[in-house]
Structure 1
Amino acid sequence: MADVEKKDTVIIGAGPGGYVAAIRASELGQKVTLVEHADTVGGVCLNVGCVPSKALIQAGHRLEQAKDGATYGISTNDAKIDFAKTQEWKQKKVVDRMTGGVNMLLKKHHVDIVKGDAVFLSDTQLRVMPTGEKQFMSTDTGSTFEFNNLIIASGSHPIEIPGFKFEGRVIDSTGGLALPQIPKEFIVIGGGYVGTELAGAYASLGAHVTILEGTKSILPNFTKDMVSVVLKNLKKKGVDVITSAMAKSSKQDDNSVSVTYAVDGKESTIKADYCMVTVGRKPSTDDLGLEYTKVKLNDHGQIKVDVQGRTDSEHIWAVGDCVPGAALAHKAFFEGKTAAGAISGKKTANDYVSVPAVCFSDPEIATVGYNEAEAKDKGIKVKTAKFPFAGNARAVSLDAPEGFVRFIYTDDDNKNIVGAEAVGPEVSTMAGELSIIVNDGLNVEDVALTIHPHPTLNEPIQEAADIALGFPTHL
C-alpha cells in the first residue's frame, strides 16, 4: 500500500455543501483537500439539478410569452423552439459557466481537488480510489489519507421504484433535463418539487404532461390554498394531474413507454414518449465505509449530527443531503459554513426555522418558518394576514395577478411573525426578505414601517403587515 498522506481538512463531495465548506475552511486558515468522484464540481444541483432545471423553466416561460403576445397587443407569428439550441444554451451558458466559476473559486482558495471515490478505513483514515474502482480496493492504485478533520458532503441520489428501472425511456430527473427533443407525451411520477417544476417546464415547451402523484395532492408539503393556485395554472397548460395514484409497472419499446397505475384499486394504462420518476432522493451514505467509524445513521440512512454538523465521531462532520432535514442547496451552503467554522473553533450552529423553501412552479411558491397548522402544533396561538397579488400594480402589469403573500403572527400584543407564505410571480426573489423577517423575530409593525418601492412585487409584504395591524390600504 502507498504511503499514508497526512491532511488537515478533507471534504468528501464537491456539491453545494462540500465546495462552500471548502471555501470557508480555507478562509479560516485550514488546508483543504476536496475529494469528488465526478468530472465536474458543483454536485447534482449545479450540473443536473436546480440550476439547469431553472434554465429549462425560463426557456418555457419565454416560449409561452412569445406565443401569447396578443395579450399585450403584440402580433407574434407562430413562435417556435429549436430544442437542441436550448439544450446547448443551458449547458454552455449556464451550467458550464457556473461550474467554471466554482472551479475558479476553489483554485483561488488553494483547495486541492482529488478525483476519486472515498472509503473510510477508520475514524482518522480514508482511502480514495479511482472513480468506479472503489469496490476492488486495490493496494496498487489510489491514495490513503490521514486527516485531522473531515466533512462528509456526499449528497443524495434518486430513488428507484419497483417496475421502473432507470433505463431507456424510464428516466430520473437527470435524464429529464437532458432529453434530445421535447416529448409529445410526458409522464411524471411524483408531484413534489422536482416533478412539478419539470412538468410545468415541459408543458410550457409544448408537451402534454401527466403527473401521477401517490398522495392526495401534488406539493404535499405546502398549504392547500397555495397549491390550488399552482394546480389551476398546470391545468391551464393542459397538464393532467392524477392524485392517489400508485405506479405499478412500465413497458417500453424503441419509441414509447406504457405506464400502469392504480387509483382506488382500479388500474389504468397510459402511453408516452418518456416517463420520468421523481419520487424523492436517498442519502448517498451506503458505500462510504461508515461501518469502520463511529458515525451513526438514522432509519432513513441519514448521518446523525449535532447543531454544528459533528457526527458521533469526534473529527468527522456531515452536511447537506446526507444529514436530516430538507434537501436544499442553500441549507447545505449554511451547514457547510457552520461545520467549517466549528472545526476552526468558532461558536457556530445551524438553525433551521428560517430556512426558506422555494418551489419554482408556475407561479412560484416560497415559505419560511411555520405555517398556521405547524404553529398551532407547537402551541403557538397565531393569526394570519393575507394580501393578494390581484391588488399589486406590478403583478397586474405583468399579467400575473394570481396568488398572495401571507404572514403567520402571534395572537398577542407583540404580533411577532413566526412564518410567511407566498405564491405568485417571482416570489422566490422575496424569500430572502421573508427569511430575515422570521429569523430576526420582527413583528408586523416592523414590517409595516419598512417602505417598499412602488410598483414592485415585494409590496404585498408590507401590505400584509398593514392588514395584520388592521389598516389595509390597497385591499
Structure 2
Amino acid sequence: MSTRERYDLVILGSGSTAFAAAIHAQELGKTAVMTEGRTLGGTCVNRGCLPSKNLIEAARLVYDAAHPRYPGLTPVHMPFSWAELVAQKDEIIHEYRAHKYESLLDASDQMQVVPGQVRLVSDHEVEAQSAGGVCRLVGEQILIATGSAPLIPDLPGLANVPYLTSDLLSSSDDPWGTALHEQFRSLLILGGGSIALELGQMFARFGTQVTLITRGSTILSGYEPEIAEALTAILQEEGLRIVTGAQVRGVRHEGEGVALSIQRHGSQQTLSAEKLLVATGRRPNTQEIGLEQAGVKLNQEGAVRVDCMLRTNVPHIWAAGDVIGRETESQMATPVGAHDGKIAAHNALSGEPLQQVDHSIIPRTIFTDPQVAVVGMTDEEAVAVGIACNCNTIPLSVVPRAGAIRDTRGVIKMVLDGSTRRVVGISMLGVNAGEVIGEAAMALRFGATTDDFIDLIHVYPTMSEALKIVAISFTKDVNRLSCCAS
C-alpha cells in the first residue's frame, strides 16, 4: 500500500532535535511530520544519556558502599541482581519515552510520526518504507535530524568478531539493540573519550575487569591535560587498566572471547577479554538517506554542511543536531540538538528574520565519578586564536564543600584573556561538576571577569564555590584565606 501526504515541515528523525522542531512548528500553527526507522525518541532516551546515567548511579552506590570515605563507616559488599538492574533501566527508558515523546503525539493533532526506513527521493519528498507499505511525505520545508551512530573504526579482523557499542544500553525490547543480558567478567574498551570512560568505570564498579585502549598519549584528547592526568590516576586507583599510545593491529577470536593485537612503544602486545566494546566516538547518520537525490552536500567528516542559520546548500532543506557534526562549532549533544531544532523550525516556517545559532558557549559533562565538566576554551585553544592567555589550576582540596564531604578528588582550571581578565574557559574535575558548570556557562555568555566571580556571593559550603576560589587564586594564595573570604 502506498500513500502520499503533504506537510509544512517533513522531519527525518524523531529524537530530541526532531521533537523540538515539531513542537515549535505546532506553536507556529504549521503541520509537521517526523519519521523514525528505529525507536521513537532517538538515541538519548533509548540507548544514550538516560540509561547510561541510570546504571552509572547504581554502580556508584555499589562502589561507595564498599569504599566509604568516612571513618566509622564499615565497608560492605552490596549484593545486587544484574537482571533486576537491567530491568529497572528498561523501565526508565519506557517511562521517559512515554512521558516525553509518546504523550506529546497523543495530545496533538498537528504532530505525528511515520515509521519506516526513510530516505529523500527529491528535494521536497521523503519516502518511509515499512512493513505496512510505502508512505511518501511531501514537505514545503525539510529538516534533516537523523542524529548519529557509533563510529566503527576500520580495523583488521573487527568485522569477523562480535563486538559491542554504546547501543548495549538499549532496552531488551529494542530489536536493533544489544541488551545487557549478562554481566561481563572482563572487557576491552577501544577509546579514551567520554563514552569509553563512563562505561568503563561503570562496568568496573560492577566487578568487570576493564582495560581501556586508546591511541592517544592520554585519555580525553582535547581536554585540559590537568583534567586528563587527574582522572587517569583516579580510574587507575579504582582498578581500571589504561593503555595509551596503542595502535591496534588486529582483532581476533580467542577461545570464547576476543583478543587485540596492539603495537605500543615499538613492541607487539596482545590484550584479551571476554567482550570488546568499541567506543571510539560517533558519526553523523547521513548514509543511505537520499541526500544525493536531494542535492544536499556533506563536509569532509560526512556531516551535513550548514550555515549559521542551519540551512543546507538547498534553500528549503535544513539540518540540526548530531547530523551536522562539528559544523558551526557545534557539539554532538542532546541539549544542543533540541536548542537548534527549534531554531531550524523558526527559520523554516515563521517568515520572520532568520536566527543564527551560537555554539560558542556549550557546557558539557562526562559522568565519571568524579565528573568532568567544561565550558569555553582550553588554554591551548585560547592561544591558538590569539588570546593573551592567563591560566590557573587549583586542587579541590581548597574547596570547603569537598573537604566537608571527604571527597577532594579533582581540580578546577580557569582560562582568562589576560588583557581584559574576561574568563574564556573553565574545566573542572570534581564531585557534581556537572551541576557547577551551568553557572560558569552563564558567566561566560555574558562576558564575566574574575572580579564578577569573586564579587558574587556563593552559598557556603557548595561545590560552586570552586569558581570563586579559582578566580581569587589569580591574585591571592587561597590557602591563606578564611572561609568565604575573598
TM-score scaled to structure 1, two decimals?
Answer: 0.92
**Superimposed CA distance per residue, residues 6-43 of structure 1 (whole angstroms, 9 cap, x where no aligned partner):** 111111111222122222222232211111112x3221
The residue number in structure 2 matching 1:221 is 222
What are the equivalent positions in structure 2 for 1:134-149 lying under 5 Å apart? Answer: 141-149=133-141
What are the equivalent positions in structure 2 for 1:78-157 lying under 5 Å apart? Answer: 78-92=77-91, 94-102=92-100, 103-110=102-109, 111-130=111-130, 141-157=133-149
Contact 2:32 2:112 survives alignment (8 Å): yes
Equivalent-residue separation in structure 2 for 1:71 and 1:299 (angstroms): 52
Deviation at 1:142, TM superposition (A): 0.8
Report the AA paired with residue 335 of structure 2. H
Equivalent-residue separation in structure 1 for 2:433 and 2:24 (angstroms): 29
1:341 aligns to 2:340 (yes or no)? no
The residue number in structure 1 matching 2:65 is 66
SS at match of 2:429: strand
The residue number in structure 2 matching 1:283 is 284
Equivalent-residue separation in structure 2 for 1:331 and 1:70 (angstroms): 36
Equivalent-residue separation in structure 1 for 2:393 and 2:30 (angstroms): 47
Deviation at 1:356, TM superposition (A): 1.3
The residue number in structure 1 matching 2:403 is 396
Q: Structure 1 residues 27, 191: closer, same or farther in 2, change over 3 A?
A: same
Equivalent-residue separation in structure 1 for 2:442 and 2:125 (angstroms): 41
The residue number in structure 1 matching 2:198 is 197
Contact 2:414 2:425 survives alignment (8 Å): yes
The residue number in structure 1 matching 2:415 is 408
The residue number in structure 1 matching 2:472 is 466
- CA RMSD between the two structures: 2.1
Deviation at 1:4, TM superposition (A): 3.1
Q: Structure 1 residues 351, 469: closer, same or farther in 2, change over 3 A?
A: farther
SS at match of 2:442: helix
Report the AA paired with residue 124 of structure 2. T
Equivalent-residue separation in structure 1 for 2:475 and 2:151 (angstroms): 46
5+ long unaligned stretches in structure 2: 171-178
1:356 aligns to 2:363 (yes or no)? yes
Identity among equivalent positions (%) equals: 26
Contact 2:52 2:169 survives alignment (8 Å): no
Report the AA paired with residue 97 of structure 2. T
The residue number in structure 1 matching 2:448 is 442
Contact 1:19 1:106 survives alignment (8 Å): no
SS at match of 1:179: coil
Alignment equivalent of 1:454, drawn from 446, 453, 460 = 460
**Superimposed CA distance per residue, residues 369-410 of structure 1 (whole angstroms, 9 cap, x where no aligned partner):** 111111111111121233431112221233220222222122
Report the AA paired with residue 401 of structure 1. T
The residue number in structure 1 matching 2:167 is 174
Equivalent-residue separation in structure 2 for 1:266 and 1:106 (angstroms): 57
**Which of 402-411 and 225-234 deviates more?**
402-411
What are the equivalent positions in structure 2 for 1:154-303 lying under 5 Å apart? Answer: 154-161=146-153, 162-163=155-156, 165=158, 169-175=162-168, 178-252=179-253, 255-303=256-304
5+ long unaligned stretches in structure 1: 132-139
**Superimposed CA distance per residue, residues 313-351 of structure 1 (whole angstroms, 9 cap, x where no aligned partner):** 111100111113132112212211211121223542211
SS at match of 2:373: strand
Equivalent-residue separation in structure 2 for 1:77 and 1:284 (angstroms): 45
The residue number in structure 2 matching 1:369 is 376
Contact 1:166 1:172 survives alignment (8 Å): no
Equivalent-residue separation in structure 2 for 1:316 and 1:16 (angstroms): 18
Equivalent-residue separation in structure 1 for 2:359 and 2:235 (angstroms): 31
Equivalent-residue separation in structure 1 for 2:195 and 2:167 (angstroms): 11
Deviation at 1:76, TM superposition (A): 4.5
**Which of 434-443 and 385-394 deviates more?**
385-394
Deviation at 1:446, TM superposition (A): 1.7
Report the AA paired with residue 386 of structure 1. T
Equivalent-residue separation in structure 1 for 2:372 and 2:29 (angstroms): 39
SS at match of 2:217: coil
SS at match of 1:259: strand
The residue number in structure 2 matching 1:137 is none
Equivalent-residue separation in structure 1 for 2:160 and 2:95 (angstroms): 29
Equivalent-residue separation in structure 1 for 2:222 and 2:141 (angstroms): 36
SS at match of 1:421: strand
SS at match of 1:468: coil
1:6 aligns to 2:6 (yes or no)? yes
Equivalent-residue separation in structure 2 for 1:244 and 1:70 (angstroms): 33
The residue number in structure 2 matching 1:135 is none
Deviation at 1:176, TM superposition (A): 6.3
1:57 aligns to 2:56 (yes or no)? yes
Equivalent-residue separation in structure 2 for 1:195 and 1:12 (angstroms): 29
Equivalent-residue separation in structure 2 for 1:392 and 1:303 (angstroms): 44
TM-score scaled to structure 2, two decimals?
Answer: 0.90
Deviation at 1:75, TM superposition (A): 2.8
Contact 1:391 1:474 survives alignment (8 Å): no
The residue number in structure 1 matching 2:437 is 431
Q: Structure 1 residues 211, 15: closer, same or farther in 2, change over 3 A?
A: same
Contact 1:444 1:469 survives alignment (8 Å): no
Contact 1:176 1:276 survives alignment (8 Å): no
Deviation at 1:164, TM superposition (A): 5.3
**Which of 18-27 and 69-78 deviates more?**
69-78
Report the AA paired with residue 269 of structure 2. S
Contact 1:409 1:416 survives alignment (8 Å): yes
Q: Name the count of aligned residue pairs.
A: 464
SS at match of 2:141: strand
Report the AA paired with residue 228 of structure 1. E
Deviation at 1:269, TM superposition (A): 1.5
**Superimposed CA distance per residue, residues 115-169 of structure 1 (whole angstroms, 9 cap, x where no aligned partner):** 11221121111111117xxxxxxxx931112111111111112222334546864
